Structure 1
Amino acid sequence: MAKRDYYDVLGASKGASAEELKKAYRTKAKELHPDRNKDDPTSEAQFKEVNEAYEVLKDADKKAAYDRYGHAAFEGGMGQQRGARPGGGGGDFGSSFSDVFEDLFGDFMGGRNAGGARQRASRGSDLRYNLRITLEEAFSGSQKSIRVPTLSACDECSGTGAEGGAEPVTCPTCSGMGKVRAQQGFFTVERTCPTCGGLGQIVKNPCKVCKGAGRVEKERQLSVNIPAGVETGTRIRLTGEGEAGLRGGPAGDLYIFIEVREHPIFLRDGLDLHCRVPVSFTTAALGGEVEVPTIDGGRSRVKVPAGSQAGKQMRLRAKGMPALRGGGSGDMMIELSVETPVNLTSRQKELLREFEGLSQDNHPEGSSFFTKVKSFWDGMKG
């Protein structure tokens, strides 16, 4: 049976442009795809016929040969053996299959737009911002105003890159594909289109403000809510506050990385806070009370038991940091630092020497230590 004219197969006129041929092919391929015509046994053959026709007519060189010689251009004696696929002996099968897949399912997979050209809009880059806050701000939460340098959509052209906000046009070199093909022997080489740089579109009259980029550098002021309980390394994501997308694509995200400054009084350990409080050796020996600060700005009186040693810890329940996502608070640990007095007067020195002579049995920790030392030395001598 004689082959049908390729233009008739696609339902296109002989003088149709590349864009018109592509549109006709998409229409026919979708109409005749076997998955949509499971009850029609002839649909698969018709679908292959449509694919074969478009494989020839989409290529400028093959189309010119077909327009001049018809089907004979791809039969024996015209540069290809009979029975081979038109235009390359099967060497272009992979790219042909890719084209069919993208043309049929591009709308659902983000490959091409309704006009047949690839969707060249791309998502903007994500940005990172390092934000330093105080421990008090991490405790109570706060709202911070930050200034972020970024690429924003050009207001003059609405992000299109074209003067007056006009839409970019399909690249005439690659017909919106973003890539061009060249035959080298038995192989088909595919490379990025040199005219549009792979975008598939060009701007005829570039915007004077953004020079055709569609984006301009700006410094934006943003308000960031810092939740209570954050710590160094906490990441806050602001959706859509990153760089503007290219060709109308979605903006990226802005990630705020928190760093909590060191505090002069409190040391943080997860949800717990540690506070080192100096007490006189008299208070440590006799007992008493000491007033300590809390992270919420309040004060707490802590009872110091008589005979407290340096390093003794006491716990204040729920006076630590709040959990980031709720669930209570940590504790505040008070560590006693017994302070040795300095710049003693003669009378003070006299009283201390008198006290030392009366307190041979009042140092249990020292007595225990030196007993162990004596045993160690005796063992070394033995």
Structure 2
Amino acid sequence: MAANDGFRPEWAQKDFYAVLGVKKDAAIADIKKAYRKLARENHPDSNPGDTAKHERFKAVAEAYDVLGDTEKRKKYDEMRSLYGSGGFRGGFGGSGGGGGFGGGGFNLDDLLRDRGGAGGAGAGGPGVGDLFGDLFGGFGRGGRSSQPRPQKGADAETTATISFDDALEGVTISLRLTSDAPCPDCNGTGGKPGTKPRICPECEGAGYVASTAGGGFSLNETCPRCGGRQLIYDEPCPTCKGSGHGMSARTIQARIPAGVKDGQRIRLKGKGSSGSSGGPAGDLFVTVKVTPHRLFGRKDDNLTLEVPISFDEAALGADVRIPTRGGNPVTVKVPPGTPSGRTFRVRGKGARRKDGTYGDLLATVLVHVPGTLDPAAREAVEAYRAATADRPLRANLFEEARS
């Protein structure tokens, strides 16, 4: 365990006995009784919105965390005695003059690194680093935390369907979400409304219990009986069955960025479920579904378009006007002898990228074959067939097949 783990310098100047209203030589049973009484009177669940009592509860829990443990109480008394005798004159100053230990300047971090006891605890006694480390670095050595640790809320997921145009330009949409929230009847306490809580006998109001991790170490775990709430109710809330959780519906505004693709997952930080014990909210992940466009398609940052052309345009060449999405038409020059399926690129008429630039429009020409011909058109096609009869298109097929 690293020196200074969990150490809070101001604790050396706090009178935990006064906080609990007990004498310095009070028995452990009296300390426990005083803590339970004060914790019950000042617990946040019993005093919603009363900031003063919430702070009082924290101070009471902090005091009991030390005085309720025999070994920690012993080391706390030693430290207080050392502090009262002038061993820490000038308070807990940083490095340099002013903060005295035995009369000379000191750096608190240097003191906490001194695990050998030469820093003024007395021959044969615990070192200053051991004293502070054991007293305030309780994690992993059987200590308890007086307050549940902040927990980040759960992440949430939803799906949003937007139009092809909105995907290209970006859009703000409304999302209706249902997520975990405190039970509306018991306000998250888990107790039947109107009933009084009592200190959890499993963790004695700490919210955590120590479990053996092997090798002589122990770890703090959330109390299985009270779930870290420190209090229990003999009659659970009938609405949430004692869990303290309910469901809430809410509507949020979400900005879908320009250029989003079909199936892309967007992360909205802090829009998930609420955290517990002051922890941050989780994140919301939105999977975007894009409705296909009747004319345009998309390939990465480019738009695609199929353009029908006639046989004579492909054979003789032509200037073909084509539409662009949301803009003026452009003209594509189709050279003579253009085959069906050839793609032409129109720069800057595609989807908007993250850097503000645009992709291209990829226009693929497809030679159109009419289903019916009027007499004049049929006569012209028959004349073309006669003119090209000596140039069979499929002659090479047979030659390649034989080879």
TM-score (norm 2): 0.62
1:280 paired residue among 310, 316, 321: 310
In the other structure, the counterpart of 1:40 is 119
Give the CA deviation at 1:333.
Answer: 0.9
In the other structure, the counterpart of 1:239 is 269
Q: 1:299 to 1:335 in 2, by over 3 A?
A: same
Aligned partner letter, 1:253 = D
Matched, 1:14 2:90: no
In the other structure, the counterpart of 2:281 is 251
Give the CA deviation at 1:128.
Answer: 1.0
In the other structure, the counterpart of 2:66 is 23
Give the CA deviation at 1:283.
Answer: 2.2
1:73-121 Cα distance to aligned partner (Å, 9 max, x none): xxxxxxxxxxxxxxxxxxxxxxxx9xx58x5266xx9x998xx424154
1:76-95 alignment, distance < 5 Å: none
Q: What is the CA–CA distance in structure 2 between the aligned matches of 1:112 and 1:188, rounded to whole Å?
A: 8
For residue 255 of structure 2, give the secondary structure of its aligned residue in structure 1: strand
Q: 1:358 to 1:281 in 2, by over 3 A?
A: same
Q: What is the CA–CA distance in structure 2 between the aligned matches of 1:112 and 1:230, rounded to whole Å?
A: 51
Q: What is the CA–CA distance in structure 2 between the aligned matches of 1:305 and 1:187, rounded to whole Å?
A: 82
1:257-278 Cα distance to aligned partner (Å, 9 max, x none): 2232333322211111111111
Matched, 1:300 2:330: yes
Give the CA deviation at 1:172.
Answer: 2.5
2:248 paired residue among 191, 195, 218: 218
In the other structure, the counterpart of 1:61 is none
1:350 paired residue among 355, 373, 379: 379
Give the CA deviation at 1:41.
Answer: 5.0
Q: Does the aligned pair in 2 maintain the 1:310–1:336 contact within 8 Å?
A: yes
Q: 1:169 to 1:29 in 2, by over 3 A?
A: farther
Give the CA deviation at 1:143.
Answer: 0.9
1:20-169 alignment, distance < 5 Å: 22-24=65-67, 25=72, 28=76, 31=79, 35-36=111-112, 38=114, 40-42=119-121, 46-47=125-126, 100=134, 103-104=136-137, 116-153=145-182, 159=188
For residue 312 of structure 2, give the secondary structure of its aligned residue in structure 1: helix
Q: What is the CA–CA distance in structure 2 between the aligned matches of 1:165 and 1:246, rounded to whole Å?
A: 23
**Structure 2: tracts of 5 or more residues without a match:** 1-22, 36-62, 83-107
Q: What is the CA–CA distance in structure 2 between the aligned matches of 1:336 and 1:207, rounded to whole Å?
A: 69
In the other structure, the counterpart of 2:400 is 376
2:321 paired residue among 291, 297, 302: 291
Aligned residues: 309
Moved more, 129-138 or 218-227: 129-138
Q: Does the aligned pair in 2 maintain the 1:203–1:212 contact within 8 Å?
A: no
Tell me how large the CA RMSD over aligned residues is: 4.5
Give the CA deviation at 1:191.
Answer: 8.8
Q: 1:188 to 1:275 in 2, by over 3 A?
A: closer
For residue 286 of structure 2, give the secondary structure of its aligned residue in structure 1: strand
In the other structure, the counterpart of 2:18 is none
In the other structure, the counterpart of 1:229 is 259
Identity %: 29
Q: Does the aligned pair in 2 maintain the 1:318–1:329 contact within 8 Å?
A: yes
Q: Does the aligned pair in 2 maintain the 1:153–1:215 contact within 8 Å?
A: yes
Matched, 1:329 2:358: yes
Moved more, 154-163 or 336-345: 154-163
Q: Does the aligned pair in 2 maintain the 1:268–1:274 contact within 8 Å?
A: yes
TM-score (norm 1): 0.65
1:328-356 Cα distance to aligned partner (Å, 9 max, x none): 11111111000111122344323211111
Give the CA deviation at 1:231.
Answer: 1.4
Q: 1:238 to 1:249 in 2, by over 3 A?
A: same
Greater helix share, 1 or 2?
A: 1
Give the CA deviation at 1:189.
Answer: 12
Matched, 1:196 2:275: no
Q: What is the CA–CA distance in structure 2 between the aligned matches of 1:355 and 1:50, rounded to whole Å?
A: 103
Q: Does the aligned pair in 2 maintain the 1:292–1:299 contact within 8 Å?
A: yes
Q: What is the CA–CA distance in structure 2 between the aligned matches of 1:179 and 1:317, rounded to whole Å?
A: 66
Give the CA deviation at 1:220.
Answer: 1.0
